[in-house]
Amino acid sequence: MPERLLRILYLLALIASPALGYAEVQKPFAASNAAAARVTNYTPGEVIRYPVALLVGELSDAKATQVTLTNASSKRPTATMKGQALGRKFKVLAELVPGENKLTIAPGSAGEGVTAAAPLAITLNYKPQTNPHFVRMIYMTDSTGETAYQSQRENDAQDFDAKLDTAMKLMQTLTAERMHDLGYGRQTFNMELDEAGKVKVHVHKGAKPAADYYKLDDQAWYREVAKEVNAAFDMKHAKNIVIAAYTRWDPATKRASGHTALGGGNQGLFGSGNLFTWPSSLADVQGVFMDATRMDTTKTQDDSGGRGMVWSAAATTIGATLHEMGHAFGLPHTRVSTDVMSRGFDQFNRVFTLSEPTRRNNNPRLFKPEEATAFAPPSAESLLTSRWFALDAREFAQKNDISINYDAADDSIVIKSPTGVGFFAADSKGDAVFHRSPPRDKAAPAEFRVPVADIRKVIPEGDAMFRAANADGHVGRSSLERLVKRAAEQKDAGPKADAKQPDKKADDGFVDLIGKDLTGWCYKDKDGKEEVFDGKTESSDKRYTAKDDMIVVNGRGAGPALRQLWTTAKFGKDFELRVEFRAAVNADSGLFVRGPQLQVRDYLVAGPYKNLKSYKPQDWNQIVVIVKDNVAHCTCNGEVLEAALRLPETGPIGLEADRNQMEYRNLRIKMAK
CA distance 640 to 624: 10
116: exposed, middle or buried (Cβ count in 10 Å: 0-12, 13-18, 19+)? exposed
Are 43 and 124 spatial neighbours (Cβ–Cβ below 8 Å)?
A: no
Backbone angles phi, psi at 275, to 5 degrees: -60, -30
CA distances 26 to 16, 31, 186, Å, are 11, 15, 21
Query: By percentage, how much of the chain surpasses pLDDT 70?
Result: 90
Query: Torsion-angle region of residue 542: left (phi > 0), alpha (psi -120 to 50) or beta?
Result: left
Q: What pLDDT sits at residue 361?
A: 61
> According to CATH, where is 2.60.120.560 located in the chain?
511-671
At residue 281, does pLDDT exceed 90? yes
**Residues 6+ away with beta carbon under 8 Å from 652:** 566, 567, 568, 569, 570, 571, 592, 594
The whole-chain average pLDDT of the chain stands at: 89
d(CA 330, CA 365): 34
pLDDT at 9: 46
The length of the chain is 673
Distance CA 438, CA 488 (A): 28
Going by pLDDT thresholds of 50, 70 and 90, the confidence category of residue 16 is very low
- The percentage of the chain sitting over the pLDDT mark of 90, rounded to a whole number, equals 73
Q: Is the pLDDT of residue 409 over 60?
A: yes
Bridge partners of residue 478, in order along the sequence: 466
Of 406, 481, 474, 468, the closest CA to residue 432 belongs to 468
Give the span between the Cα atoms of 379 and 388, in whole angstroms: 14
DSSP letter for each residue of 46-60: -EESSSEEEEEEEES
Which phi-psi region, left, alpha or beta, contains residue 64 (left: φ > 0; alpha: ψ -120 to 50)?
Answer: beta
Exposure b/e, 138-158, CB count within 10 A at least 16 = b: bbbbbeeeebebbbbeeeeeb
- For 226, residues 6+ apart whose C-beta sits below 8 A from its C-beta are 265, 266, 267, 561, 562, 658
Q: What is the DSSP string of 457-525?
A: HHS-SS--EEEEEETTS-EEEEEHHHHHHHHHHHHHH-TT---SS----TTSS-EES--SS-TTEEEE-
Q: What's the whole-number mean pLDDT along residues 37-65?
A: 95
Give per-residue pLDDT as tens, 447-463.
999 999 999 999 998 89
Give the residue range(s) of CATH 2.60.40.10 domains in the chain: 24-126
- Min mean pLDDT across 7-11, 91-95, 139-143, 651-655 is at 7-11
Which of the four CATH numbers 2.60.120.560, 1.20.120.450, 3.40.190.10, 2.30.42.10 does domain 511-671 have?
2.60.120.560
Q: Residue 634 carries which side chain, given as an amino acid letter?
A: C
Task: Give the phi and the psi of residue 134 in degrees, each rounded to 5.
Answer: -145, 165
- Structure confidence by residue, pLDDT tens digits, 101-119: 999 999 987 545 445 567 8
Looking at per-residue pLDDT, the higher value among 245 and 7 belongs to 245
Sheet holding 238-244, edge to edge: 201-205, 134-141, 238-244, 267-271, 261-264
Assigned fold of 399-493? Immunoglobulin-like (2.60.40)
Give the tens place of pLDDT for each residue, 162-182.
999 999 999 999 999 999 999
**pLDDT score at 12:** 47
Task: Output the pLDDT for position 556.
Answer: 67
Q: What is the pLDDT of residues 182-199, one digit of tens each?
A: 999 999 999 999 999 999
Residue 418 amino acid letter: P
Taking the CA atoms of the chain, what radius of gyration do you get in angstroms? 27
Please tell me the predicted confidence (pLDDT) of residue 23.
32
User: What type of residue sits at position 293?
Assistant: T
pLDDT attached to residue 134: 97
pLDDT at 29 over 60: no
Alpha-carbon span 392 to 602, nearest angstrom: 34
Q: Give backbone dihedrals phi and psi of 530, rounded to 5 degrees, phi first.
A: -95, 140
Task: State the pLDDT at residue 557.
Answer: 60
Tell me: the pLDDT tens digits for 323-342? 999 999 999 999 999 999 99
Give 521's Cβ-side CA count (13 Å radius).
27
The predicted-structure confidence for 480-533, as pLDDT tens digits, reads as follows 998 998 888 777 765 444 344 455 554 578 899 998 899 999 999 888 889 999
Using one digit for the tens of pLDDT, what is the confidence trace for 604-622? 888 888 888 889 888 899 9
Which range (444-448, 473-477, 652-656) has the least confidence?
473-477
Q: Is the peptide bond before 460 cis (omega within 30 degrees of 0)?
A: no
CATH architecture of 134-384: 3-Layer(aba) Sandwich (3.40)
As a whole number of Å, the end-to-end CA separation of the chain is 62
Per-residue pLDDT band at 362 (split at 50, 70, 90): low
Strand ranges for 306-351 from DSSP E: 333-334
Q: What is the pLDDT of residue 204?
A: 98
Residue type, 98: P
* Class at the top of the CATH hierarchy for domain 24-126: mainly beta
Task: Write down the number of H helices and E strands in the chain.
Answer: 10, 39
Strand partners of residue 424: 436, 468
